[in-house]
């Protein structure tokens, strides 16, 4: 994982996406078995949580932070006194949707004296400030970013869930997605992407769809259309020139794809943007 140094290029285009955040209170009878769809932190506030994952059982207590990776399957249950924790599902990306967590396997339990104090402060702050129904503020995002940066830069994982499993399918998918982000104007073939990920074409498409909630083909189209909108708004390049830059065989093919995506022709879109 790249360190999140404030002056670095990687920090400049780093994005924190928070998909879900809420506080959980469970009694002693709570037990659940799940497979995580995204990166999820549990910040334990009170009580204890036992987690059975990868054939082993671990216990997390007040001040511990537990990180699950996409695809992690586990069973969790509360201690005899029940438990309370803050749950946050998130992603940290840079550039064209490149997942910066995918290059290392960081799933596990994060703890130290300093981190435990910070985790408990985070939970108290969340309960007192951010549990209203008005949505999360910019301050909340800043608070989350600061907390996650302290946990992950450098990674402070004490208990690793998967010490020997680096080359997982989600890491391979992210590497391919990163390559697409750098070469989306080229004539990228699905079969070539699948081969690079070491998967069959059918399995690759299905796994990519599940991981990114979008098909590989649509992912390329979205990147091209976003870039097309930028070129139309910020340059005086001709439509034919933009079509060529985006990898379309001719202006007609580009215009047809653009109209389908934006429901406007490139020419009309440019006029609207320049008003």
Domain-wise residue ranges, the chain: 9-160, 169-273
DSSP string, 43-65: EEEEEEEEEEETTEEEEE-TT-E
Query: Which pLDDT score, from 0 to 100, does residue 170 have?
Result: 65
| Residue 112 predicted with pLDDT over 90 | no
Query: Which pLDDT score, from 0 to 100, does residue 166 have?
Result: 44
Query: Which pLDDT score, from 0 to 100, does residue 167 have?
Result: 44
Cα 216 to its chain centre, rounded Å, is: 16
| Residue 1 predicted with pLDDT over 60 | no
Burial of 44 (0-12, 13-18, 19+ CB in 10 A): buried
Q: What are 264's two structure tokens?
A: 């406007």
Burial of 95 (0-12, 13-18, 19+ CB in 10 A): middle
**Ranked by mean pLDDT, which of 97-106, 153-162, 202-211 comes out on top?**
202-211
Share of residues in the chain with pLDDT > 90 (%) = 36
Q: 197: how many CB neighbours lie within 10 A of its CB?
A: 21
| Residue 10 predicted with pLDDT over 50 | no
Give first-to-last CA distance, the chain, whole Å.
43
- Four-point Cα dihedral 168, 169, 172, 177, nearest 10: -140
Average pLDDT, the chain: 83
Residues 208 and 173: beta-carbon distance below 8 Å: yes
More confident residue, 157 or 275: 157
* Look-up of token digits 């998130």: 90
Q: Which of 32, 31, 74, 79 is nearest to 55 (CA)?
A: 74
**What's the topology of domain 9-160?**
Jelly Rolls (2.60.120)
Query: Which pLDDT score, from 0 to 100, does residue 76 have?
Result: 97
Query: Which pLDDT score, from 0 to 100, does residue 150 have?
Result: 79
Distances (CA, A) of 238 to 70, 89, 169, 266: 43, 43, 41, 10
Q: Which of 22, 18, 68 is nearest to 41 (CA)?
A: 68
More confident residue, 10 or 26: 26
pLDDT band at 132 (very low <50, low <70, confident <90, very high): low
Query: Which pLDDT score, from 0 to 100, does residue 122 have?
Result: 86
pLDDT band at 29 (very low <50, low <70, confident <90, very high): very high
Non-local CB neighbours of 266 within 8 Å, separated by 6+ positions: 228, 232, 239, 242, 254, 255, 258, 259
**What's the topology of domain 169-273?**
Arc Repressor Mutant, subunit A (1.10.10)
| Residue 82 predicted with pLDDT over 90 | yes
Mean pLDDT of 117-142: 76
More confident residue, 246 or 125: 246
pTM over 0.75: no
Among 2-16, 119-133, 188-202, 206-220, the minimum mean pLDDT is found in 2-16
d(CA 214, CA 206): 10
| Residue 241 predicted with pLDDT over 90 | yes
């Amino acid at each position: 994982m790249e360190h999140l140094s404030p002056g670095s290029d990687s920090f400049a285009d780093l994005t924190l996406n928070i998909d879900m955040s809420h506080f959980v209170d469970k009694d002693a009878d709570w037990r659940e078995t799940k497979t995580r769809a995204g990166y999820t932190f549990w910040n334990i506030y009170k009580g204890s949580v036992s987690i059975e994952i990868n054939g082993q059982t671990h216990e997390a207590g007040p001040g511990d932070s537990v990180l699950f990776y996409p695809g992690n399957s586990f069973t969790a249950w509360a201690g005899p006194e029940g438990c309370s924790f803050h749950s946050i599902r998130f992603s940290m990306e840079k550039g064209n949707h490149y997942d910066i967590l995918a290059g290392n396997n960081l799933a596990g339990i994060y703890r130290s004296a300093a981190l435990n104090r910070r985790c408990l402060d985070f939970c108290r702050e969340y309960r007192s400030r951010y549990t209203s129904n008005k949505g999360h503020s910019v301050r909340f995002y800043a608070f989350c970013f600061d907390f996650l940066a302290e946990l992950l830069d450098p990674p402070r994982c004490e208990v690793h869930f998967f010490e020997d499993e680096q080359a997982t399918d989600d890491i391979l998918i992210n590497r391919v997605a990163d390559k697409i982000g750098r070469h989306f104007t080229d004539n990228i073939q699905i079969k070539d992407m699948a081969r690079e990920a070491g998967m069959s074409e059918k399995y690759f498409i299905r796994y990519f769809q599940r991981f990114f909630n979008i098909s590989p083909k649509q992912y390329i189209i979205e990147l091209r259309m976003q870039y097309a909108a930028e070129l139309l708004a910020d340059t005086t390049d001709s439509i034919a020139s933009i079509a060529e830059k985006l990898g379309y065989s001719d202006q007609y093919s580009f215009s047809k794809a653009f109209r389908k995506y934006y429901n406007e022709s490139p020419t009309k879109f440019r006029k609207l943007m320049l008003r």
